[in-house]
């Protein structure tokens, strides 16, 4: 991450924004999974939600992969969704964007079709971002899509499009509001706070009432109020009364159903659900000149890293003002979807695993099956050709795998793979020199118990060659 991103993050942190909980920003899959992310203490409504959590979240744990969509007036500027604040745009000027925001009809259909092709199972769209513009037909403000440039309800289009593709529907909602007159003064003026909280709860009520069954409510930045001042418990109670099967995140200051590490992959403590949200380049909203696109390899690896930690991956697109998806995003997502078509078994519905790091491979598991995601294929070393034991084959060795492997196959084709196993490692042999699949080749290894990989466990075994023993 470049310094701007991190300075924005420290700014958010100073503001006490819940969104800034995850601070070590990085899009890299090399991020180690760590446990014990900070959590707020459970509230009464949290405890009530806990009773139904497993059942409400079952589909989400299976799903693993979702599409985040950041789309708003900021897309018209095309310089990241924080442009209003970062560039200090005066409100009357910013409001002109609302008049000039004229997306083509049903752009959301293309998003939903792309999500489907990409293997994503749910979509979360910004219904109102920090800029305060509402994408739906609200009775509470004129600063909304039907009464401005678009002339229609964009949330309705989104919901219909997602449902048409059989995808689950999520609403992102920013509590922080730079446009509303009470959005900042609510911190110091009690009358303004009351008005603004009623406005906020009223908007959320509309979203939870007018669009049928909603699967995810994704709160964001709770600046400038505390959970008590937002009346977050009452907020969640209303949400669950209107949508008993919904799941909510933790960014209205309460624990909610899941944690939301941002731009980093950080597993919550075992038993706590989590979802990493991440950009495809470095921006959430459309940013015309941001060319820092992640590759399909990185995305597949990140998805596997989330899955191995028992988490989900919510990957963002930032559509252009007319609603079209930047072509680079389409290319990457289609490549990921193609890979998932034949390798999805190694991701969807997998269980949290306990595996050492490996630069060349990632691991996931389902029950007793280990999935080795080999993203850097070993090939063979040129030097091997000089050696008498040279074989035109690749070998993959995994140090510290327990327990016993029973069978191994290429996931994509089902082709069996030969192997040997001793106390130190599993060796998969007779593999082709060229990687059979891209961006990662998945090998499924059936074991006679839960597969665990701990290459450190080999350390005490090294003196077997009497090295260092006099
Ligand atoms: C942060 C940003 C916001 C973005 C969100 C996504 O809170 O302020 O722009 O929508 O992260 O997680």
470 residues of the chain, pLDDT tens digit each = 232 233 333 333 333 333 322 322 233 333 334 333 344 566 666 677 899 999 999 999 999 999 999 999 999 999 999 999 999 999 999 999 999 999 999 999 999 999 999 999 999 999 999 999 999 999 999 999 999 999 999 999 999 999 999 999 999 999 999 999 999 999 999 999 999 999 999 999 999 999 999 999 999 999 999 999 999 999 999 999 999 999 999 999 999 999 999 999 999 999 999 999 999 999 999 999 999 999 999 999 999 999 999 999 999 999 999 999 999 999 999 999 999 999 999 999 999 999 999 999 999 999 999 999 999 999 876 665 666 656 678 999 999 999 999 999 999 999 999 999 999 999 999 999 999 999 999 999 999 999 999 999 998 887 655 555 54
Which residues approach ligand 1 with their CB closer than 6 A? 19, 70, 81-82, 220-221, 262, 277, 284
* Residue 64 Cα to chain centre, angstroms: 8
Length of the chain, in residues: 470
Q: Alpha-carbon dihedral of residues 37, 42, 45, 50, nearest 10 degrees?
A: 70
Q: pTM, whole model, 2 decimals?
A: 0.90
CA–CA distance, 188 with 141 (Å, rounded to integer): 23
Residue of 251, 244, 232 whose CA lies nearest to 208 = 244
- The rounded Å distance from CA 363 to ligand 1 centre is 29
Indicate the top mutation candidate among 17, 80, 220, 278 to test ligand 1's pocket, ranked by most ligand atoms within 8 A of CB.
220
Atom of ligand 1 nearest to the CA of 81: 9
Q: From the CA of 220, how far away is ligand 1's center (Å)?
A: 7
- Ligand 1 atom with minimal separation from the 19 CA: 7
Distance 147 CA to ligand 1 centre (A): 26
Buried b (16+ CB within 10 A) or exposed e, 304-335: bbbbbbbbbbbbbbbbbbebebbeebbebbeb
Q: Give burial (CB, 10 Å; 0-12/13-18/19+) of 95.
A: middle
Rg of the chain in Å (alpha carbons): 24
Q: In order of start, what are the domains of the chain with their CATH numbers?
A: 8-346 (3.20.20.80), 354-458 (2.60.40.1180)
- With beta carbons less than 8 A apart as the criterion, state whether 144 and 138 touch: yes
């Amino acid at each position: 991450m470049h310094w701007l991103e991190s300075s924005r993050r420290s700014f958010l942190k100073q503001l006490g924004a819940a969104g800034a909980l995850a601070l070590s920003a990085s899009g890299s899959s090399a991020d180690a999974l760590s446990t014990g992310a900070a959590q707020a203490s459970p509230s009464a409504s949290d405890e009530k939600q806990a009773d139904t959590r497993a059942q409400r979240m079952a589909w989400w744990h299976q799903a693993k992969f979702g599409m985040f969509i950041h789309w708003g007036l900021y897309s018209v500027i095309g310089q990241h969704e924080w442009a209003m604040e970062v560039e200090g745009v005066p409100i009357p000027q910013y409001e002109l964007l609302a008049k000039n925001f004229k997306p083509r009809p049903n752009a959301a259909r293309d998003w939903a079709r792309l999500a489907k092709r990409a293997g994503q199972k749910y979509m979360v769209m910004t219904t109102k971002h920090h800029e305060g513009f509402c994408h739906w037909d609200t009775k509470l403000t004129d600063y909304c899509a039907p009464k401005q440039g678009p002339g229609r309800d964009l949330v309705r289009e989104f919901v219909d499009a997602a449902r048409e593709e059989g995808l689950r529907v999520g609403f992102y909602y920013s509590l922080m509001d730079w446009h509303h007159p009470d959005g900042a003064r609510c911190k110091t003026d009690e009358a303004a706070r009351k008005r603004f909280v009623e406005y906020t709860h009223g908007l959320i009520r509309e979203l939870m009432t007018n669009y049928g069954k909603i699967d995810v409510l994704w709160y964001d930045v709770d600046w400038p109020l505390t959970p008590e001042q937002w009346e977050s418990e009452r907020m969640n109670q209303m949400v669950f009364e209107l949508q008993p099967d919904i799941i909510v995140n933790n960014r209205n200051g309460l624990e909610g159903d899941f944690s939301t590490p941002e731009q980093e992959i950080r597993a919550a403590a075992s038993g706590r659900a989590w979802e990493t949200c991440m950009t495809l380049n470095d921006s959430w909203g459309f940013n015309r000149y941001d060319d820092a696109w992640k590759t399909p390899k990185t995305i597949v690896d990140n998805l596997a890293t989330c899955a191995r930690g028992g988490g989900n991956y919510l990957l963002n697109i930032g559509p252009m003002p007319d609603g079209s998806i930047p072509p680079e995003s389409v290319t990457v997502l289609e490549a990921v979807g193609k890979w998932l078509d034949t390798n999805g078994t190694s991701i969807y519905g997998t269980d949290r695993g306990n595996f050492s790091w490996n630069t060349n491979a990632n691991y996931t598991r389902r029950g007793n099956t280990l999935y080795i995601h080999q993203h850097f294929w070993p090939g063979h070393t040129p030097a091997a050709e000089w050696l008498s034991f040279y074989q035109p084959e690749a070998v993959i060795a995994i140090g510290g795998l327990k327990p016993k492997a029973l069978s191994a196959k290429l996931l994509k084709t089902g082709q069996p793979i030969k192997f040997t196993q001793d106390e130190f490692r599993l060796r998969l042999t007779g593999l082709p020199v060229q990687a059979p699949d891209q961006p990662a080749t998945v090998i499924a290894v059936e074991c006679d118990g839960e597969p665990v990989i701990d290459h450190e466990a080999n350390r005490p075994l090294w003196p077997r060659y009497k090295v260092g023993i006099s």
